[in-house]
């Protein structure tokens, strides 16, 4: 199997490594070629020309920032993919976004599967991403070698394109709640004059404790915000959640203030920092 990975940022690079470990032939492309070039030393073919990168691929995997970036790349490359190739669209673009991209794919006669990934930098490197997926079952079955290489679990959301993207948004809503909740609890502790470590110790081992609390709480307390999942990325996803729902919809009751908190962190210079930097909004 030959896979073209388009987009070699934090997630795309990890995905390339996981595919290579599984013995899959990988071509890597990035708009800024210098960001993809180190992957040549790892065994990938690095291609500067986008149409050439996808010309012999069985699977074209897009791992880009948003729908705009995906569409720009797709418009340039779809005419060069083979008739049998599958476009595995892994960027978080929301249900409406994937349906628009599917229309573009159909206009070029290209098959597409909705496959946003759940996970961050380390799971991408380790091949342990969680993979919500929806689309034609025959296409999904053909993607099994890729799914097994990059993921620890596949969540089949059915045949409707957009269903997997909806699952992904729900997952990232939960991530936003947990991250902002951790920041709120730590800030509350400080505001009331107690060491936040006491909160962490009090909740340890209880039903409401979690590895995620330990991870993000540790980042907040150490003020170390090297990105695993950046504020700007989660802010984009929160915006998608709001856009997918009618204004004033009950489902946005918590999403809107969460978006506002992450937007404030982004506006104060933390867009490229880990989502734990939302503490700055508190």
Q: How do residues 156-181 score in pLDDT, each as one tens digit?
A: 999 999 999 999 999 999 999 999 99
The answer on 150 and 170 residing in a single domain is: no
Judged by DSSP in three states, 274 sits in strand
pLDDT value at residue 246: 78
Among the candidates 126, 142, 159, a domain finishes at 159
Among the candidates 159, 182, 199, a domain finishes at 159
Q: Which residue has the tokens 């083979």?
A: 82
What span, in angstroms and rounded, lies between the C-alpha atoms of 263 and 234?
Answer: 9
pLDDT value at residue 250: 82
Buried b (16+ CB within 10 A) or exposed e, 44-57: bbbbeebeebbbeb
Residue 74, Cα to own-chain centre: how many angstroms?
18
pLDDT value at residue 161: 98
The answer on 150 and 189 residing in a single domain is: no
**CATH number for the domain including 107?**
3.40.50.720
The answer on 119 and 22 residing in a single domain is: yes
The answer on 188 and 68 residing in a single domain is: no
Tokens of 279: 């503490």
DSSP 44: P
Q: Are 60 and 81 in contact (CB under 8 A)?
A: yes
Tokens of 269: 């210079």
pLDDT tens-place string over residues 205-220: 999 999 999 999 999 9
What span, in angstroms and rounded, lies between the C-alpha atoms of 228 and 56?
Answer: 32
Query: What is the number of structural domains in the chain?
Result: 2
The answer on 117 and 33 residing in a single domain is: yes
Q: Are 1 and 146 in contact (CB under 8 A)?
A: yes
The answer on 186 and 88 residing in a single domain is: no
Sign of CA dihedral 144, 136, 13, 271: negative
pLDDT value at residue 248: 75
What span, in angstroms and rounded, lies between the C-alpha atoms of 125 and 120?
Answer: 9
pLDDT value at residue 247: 72
Among the candidates 99, 127, 159, a domain finishes at 159
The answer on 147 and 15 residing in a single domain is: yes
Cα dihedral 44/128/113/15 (nearest 10) = -20
The answer on 96 and 177 residing in a single domain is: no
**Residue ranges making up the domain that contains 14:** 2-159
Tokens of 46: 């690095």
Q: Which residues of the chain, if any, have pLDDT below 70?
A: none
pLDDT value at residue 115: 98
Tokens of 188: 């509350």
**CATH number for the domain including 222?**
1.10.1040.10
pLDDT value at residue 60: 98
The answer on 172 and 129 residing in a single domain is: no
The answer on 190 and 155 residing in a single domain is: no
The answer on 182 and 143 residing in a single domain is: no
The answer on 193 and 108 residing in a single domain is: no
């Amino acid at each position: 199997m030959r896979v073209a990975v388009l987009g070699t940022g934090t997630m795309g690079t990890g995905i390339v490594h996981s595919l290579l470990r599984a013995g899959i032939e990988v071509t890597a492309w990035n708009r800024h070629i210098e960001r993809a070039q180190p992957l040549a030393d790892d065994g990938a073919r690095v291609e500067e020309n986008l149409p050439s990168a996808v010309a012999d691929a069985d699977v074209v995997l897009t791992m880009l920032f948003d729908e705009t970036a995906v569409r720009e790349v797709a418009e340039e490359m779809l005419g060069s993919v083979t008739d049998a190739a599958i476009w595995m669209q892994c960027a978080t673009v929301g249900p409406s976004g994937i349906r628009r991209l599917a229309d573009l794919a159909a206009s070029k006669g290209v098959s597409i599967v909705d496959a946003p990934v759940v996970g961050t930098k380390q799971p991408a490197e380790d091949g342990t991403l969680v993979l919500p997926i929806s689309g034609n079952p025959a296409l999904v079955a053909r993607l099994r070698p890729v799914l097994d290489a990059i993921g620890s679990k596949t969540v089949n959301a059915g045949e409707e394109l957009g269903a997997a993207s909806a699952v992904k948004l729900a997952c990232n809503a939960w991530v936003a709640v947990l991250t902002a909740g951790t920041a709120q609890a730590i800030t509350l502790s400080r505001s009331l004059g107690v060491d936040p470590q006491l909160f962490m110790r009090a909740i340890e081992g209880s039903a409401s404790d979690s590895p995620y609390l330990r991870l993000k709480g540790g980042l907040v307390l150490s003020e170390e915000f090297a990105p695993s999942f950046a504020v700007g990325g989660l802010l984009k996803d929160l915006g998608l959640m709001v856009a997918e729902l009618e204004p004033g919809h009950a489902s946005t009751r918590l999403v809107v203030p969460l978006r506002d908190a992450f937007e404030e962190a982004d506006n104060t210079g933390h867009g490229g920092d880990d989502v734990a930097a939302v503490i700055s909004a508190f």
